[in-house]
Amino acid sequence: MGRRRSPYDDKTVFITGASSGIGASLAKELVQRGARVGLLARRQDRLRDLAAEIATAGGTAAWAAADVCDDRALVQALEALKEELGPPDVVVANAGTNRPETPKNFQPGNALHLYDINLLGMIRLIDWALPGFLARGAGQIVGIASLASYVGLPANAAYSGSKAAMRIHLQSLRVSLRRRGVAVTTICPGFVKSELTDRVKYPMPFKWETERATRYIATAMERRRGEVTFPWQMACILWVLVRLPGRLAERILRRMA
């Protein structure tokens, strides 16, 4: 039996933060669904290895190294991928990081750095891709946000705040671009195995393996869904929490801290 047809057959997808975790796994999943992938991250060795792995398996991948915080380097890398693969049909803003901060380990500048990567890195990618999408009347923007975007988690002010800004920014774009042929998909995962979660010491309920999460994400992208949350158990807990009176919700969050 052959591979099923996919909406991503012969489409080109550019992914930031593609050197590990969700980004690397999503690249391999989309290639299995017929896409060509442009891989972008800072770590050249990992990008090179991933592109070689994809090529060995019969897929098409190109890579370019850049930091999403560096405007000029990011544009140069995206243009290099475009030169090799053609203009993207889909861009995935996946580059992100987290560094939980308590009052004991607070360091000025850390929050700005997180916002620069998580939020402004996405906006730089959109600024580059959206004019081409609008000119063609087709395209898809995908942002990897988080369930943490729905509530200010203890010791995660910058992470929750930057992911909330991502989610709202993408929601506004989704409404604005609906009649222009450009889909906007916001992915809000809970805990997913990655380099980030491997460093975390606190409990992570309902954590998904990376491959399971990326299969779910890829299917949501194919269906051009709007806002996607998973796992459902954690999403339901947060749905209840955000609907509680503010003082009660904050009392629960303090107990979590």
Which of the residues are catalytic?
Answer: 159
CA pseudo-torsion sign 201, 206, 212, 213? negative
SS3 state at 35? coil
The whole-angstrom separation of Cα 241 and Cα 248 is 9
How many residues can be counted in the chain?
257
Q: Residues 6 or more apart from 74 whose CB is under 8 A from it?
A: 40, 66, 67, 68, 121, 124, 125, 128
Residue type, 4: R
The whole-angstrom separation of Cα 248 and Cα 180 is 42
